[in-house]
């Protein structure tokens, strides 16, 4: 026993293997971005940006209720030391002030122009997006690339050709407003906004549709559903967030549009953006009404955005995460 113990040499235990760095859990880019954006400094920066972004709107709201003498003599921030408010500006802006032409009719015109200019391209884009996403036909990919390429065409390039088509259409077709009626009606505005919105609408809705699992479509086809039933019963309910997100964008674009309205609208159907500048008057004596007129034009888009904001966020995030 003693010889056995003396023959055995005591050695140090083998060193433990160092942990492999590759086995450590790595944070993904989204997790790193979330950690950075949720830090205290990021939250502080977001609050500062929100405050700075909101200050002009607050100043616009305060100026819209200030008397004419105060608006023309001092800044809106003086209301905290010398408060004075009135509703006369809103009465004048709706009645026209000294120019005698208010915004009541143009407010109705903006609503009549905007609602169809939102519904028409969405209706056409959802049908086209479904065809590009889940139907097979000859020239599908070439046509989709052509639609996608139309997004880079500047609107300014198309204004004059479109106006010529509206006034003197080819193939001896009748103009939208009739033979003897001048161009510049609602039909031209609706068609123009639809043309300009369709490429982006088709592209966005197509990308959203492609994220829907194909197994869902195949199971519906096995049950005997056709394209009409698949589109109306499956696609439309699932696409509501994306449709609402684009509807908000399109509503804001059409409501705040000035270029298309200046080119294609007549004085009888001009929206608020065209008529708002006339409130200043020929000699600039009514420029204090601009704040009230601008805030009136801001209220309706704000209501639309707040009503659909939950769909707006879901639509923006649609398709960003798989799994």
Q: Can you give the pLDDT at residue 235?
A: 84
Range picked from 4-13, 48-57, 95-104 for highest mean pLDDT: 48-57
State the chain's mean pLDDT as an integer. 78
Give yes or no for residue 99 having a pLDDT over 60: no
**Average pLDDT for 39-56:** 87
- In this model, does residue 89 exceed pLDDT 90? no
Task: Tell me if 99 sits within 8 A of 90, measured CB to CB.
Answer: no
Q: Which of 239, 29, 55 is nearest to 133 (CA)?
A: 239
Of residues 124 and 279, the one with the higher pLDDT is: 124
Give CA 118 to chain center in angstroms. 11
Q: What is the pLDDT of residues 108-134, one digit of tens each?
A: 889 999 999 999 999 999 999 988 888
Predicted local confidence at residue 106, as pLDDT: 86
For residues 292 and 102, what is the distance between their CA atoms, to the nearest angstrom?
Answer: 12
pLDDT for 8 equals 46
pLDDT band at 4 (very low <50, low <70, confident <90, very high): very low
Question: What pLDDT sits at residue 251?
Answer: 92
Given CA atoms 298, 304, 309, 315 in this order, what sign does their dihedral have? negative
For position 322, what pLDDT does the model report? 45
Mean pLDDT of 166-185: 59
* Rounded CA separation 51/53 (Å): 5
Q: Compute the distance between CA of residue 2 and CA of residue 305 in angstroms, rounded to an integer.
A: 91
162 pLDDT higher than 50 = yes
More confident site: 302 or 30: 302
Whether residue 182 has pLDDT greater than 80? no
CATH 1.10.3720.10 fits 97-317, yes or no: yes
Least confident of 95-99, 104-108, 120-124, 196-200: 95-99
pLDDT in tens, 16-34: 555 555 555 566 655 665 5
Banded model confidence at residue 176, pLDDT cuts 50, 70, 90: low
Higher-pLDDT residue of 206 and 7 is 206
Per-residue pLDDT tens digits for 202-259: 988 888 888 888 888 888 888 887 888 888 888 888 888 888 888 888 998 999 888 8
* Neighbour tally for 58: CB within 10 Å: 12
Q: Among all chains, which residue has been given the structure tokens 């964008």?
A: 249
Q: Where are the domains positioned within the chain?
A: 37-86, 97-317
| pTM for the whole structure | 0.74
Token pair belonging to 79: 């209301």
3-state SS record for 249-295: HHHHHHHCCCHHHHHHCCCCCCCHHHHHHHHHCCCCCCHHHHHHHHH
pLDDT at 124: 93
The pLDDT score that the predictor gives to residue 295 is 84
Asked if residue 323 has pLDDT above 50, the reply is: no
What percentage of the chain has pLDDT greater than the value 90? 10
Choice between 29 and 7, residue whose per-residue pLDDT is larger: 29
pLDDT(192) > 60: yes
pLDDT at 294: 83
Q: Provide the pLDDT for residue 5.
A: 46
């Amino acid at each position: 026993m003693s010889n056995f113990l003396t023959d055995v040499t005591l050695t140090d235990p083998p060193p433990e293997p160092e942990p492999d760095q590759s086995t450590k859990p790595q944070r993904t880019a989204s997790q790193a971005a979330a950690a950075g954006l949720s830090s205290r400094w990021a939250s502080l920066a977001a609050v500062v940006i929100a405050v700075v972004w909101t200050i002009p709107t607050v100043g616009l709201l305060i100026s819209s209720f200030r008397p004419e003498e105060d608006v023309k003599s001092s800044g809106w921030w003086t209301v905290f030391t010398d408060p004075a408010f009135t509703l006369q500006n809103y009465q004048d802006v709706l009645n026209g002030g000294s120019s005698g032409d208010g915004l009541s009719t143009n407010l109705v015109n903006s609503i009549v122009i905007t609602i169809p200019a939102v519904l028409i391209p969405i209706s056409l884009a959802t049908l086209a997006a479904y065809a590009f996403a889940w139907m097979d036909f000859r020239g599908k990919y070439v046509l989709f690339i052509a639609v996608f390429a139309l997004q880079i065409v500047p609107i300014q390039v198309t204004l004059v050709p479109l106006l010529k088509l509206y006034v003197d259409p080819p193939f001896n077709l009748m103009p939208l407003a009739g033979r003897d009626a001048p161009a510049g009606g609602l039909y031209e505005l609706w068609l123009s906004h639809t043309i300009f919105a369709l490429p982006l609408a088709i592209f966005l809705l197509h990308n959203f549709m492609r994220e829907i699992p194909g197994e869902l479509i195949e199971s519906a086809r096995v049950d005997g559903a056709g394209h009409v039933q698949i589109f109306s019963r499956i696609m439309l309910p699932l696409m509501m967030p994306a449709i609402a997100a684009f509807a908000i964008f399109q509503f804001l674009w059409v409501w705040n549009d000035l270029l298309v309205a200046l080119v294609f609208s007549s004085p009888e159907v001009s929206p608020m953006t065209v008529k708002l500048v006339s409130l200043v008057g020929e000699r600039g004596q009514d420029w204090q009404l601009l704040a009230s007129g601008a805030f009136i034009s801001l209220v309706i888009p704000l209501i639309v955005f707040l009503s659909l904001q939950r769909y707006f966020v879901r639509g923006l995030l649609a398709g960003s995460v798989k799994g």
